[in-house]
Homo-oligomer: A and B are copies of this chain.
Amino acid sequence: MTATNRPRAANGLLTEDEPGSAAQRDRRKRILDATIALASKGGFEAVQMRAVAEKADVALGTLYRYFPSKIHLLVTGLARELERGLERLDRATIPGETPYDRVLQVLGRVTRAMQRDPHLTEAMTRAFMFADASAAAEVDAVGRLMDRMFAYAMHDEPTEEDMAIARVIADVWLSNLVAWVTRRATANDVAERLELTVRLLLRKDSRT
């Protein structure tokens, strides 16, 4: 009968005006915290819906009312973490004289973050890549966050070309993330390939 049976609008990714009552915002936070904790401990397969519900102290049905699938749950968690990371990036100026240097800086930072919590990285990467069309909004939000991250590393006001380059870098980054997660590439391989990619893309550009 009801048009929507979700306690929050589908956008649900921007930090802005969180909808719902305080209790609902709290439940939502508990759910995402539980998700991250479980993912961090045991990766994608450890994020079991029953376990998340129990850890967040909500019923299984409630969990599904907040997040329609495990994929939505994990991708939303990824978006939250990325937003936090991006805020931290915004506050501190990225060191480096050239776009090339600054992009490498940022890449180094995210690569270290990835290594710091392999299970979490695995869970989120696989959820992101496995998502189907029903999670397109969430996935897209994450994609834009990544593009933005690299674009801002180049210039405060990225041009069209900056955005195009940032997107390519994000694509390569994702691909390498997947390779690292499946153990087809070491962290060193990833670092090398990223550096090579950035060199190919930014070889002559050196504006500040």
Contacts and interface: CB of A to CB of B under 8 A. Distances in A.
Contact of A182 (B133, B164, B175): B133
Report whether over half of chain A's contact residues are helix, strand or loop; otherwise say mixed. helix
A182 B72 CA distance: 13
Interface in A128-144: 129-133, 135-136, 139-140, 143
A193 interface: yes
Given A193-B167, A197-B168, A201-B200, A131 B182 contact: yes
Interface in A174-196: 174-176, 178-179, 181-184, 193, 196
A102 interface: no
B136 A183 contact: yes
Contact of A164 (B143, B183, B184, B200): B200
12 contacts: A44-B132, A122-B132, A126-B129, A129-B178, A130-B130, A131-B182, A132-B181, A133-B182, A136-B182, A165-B200, A170-B175, A172-B172
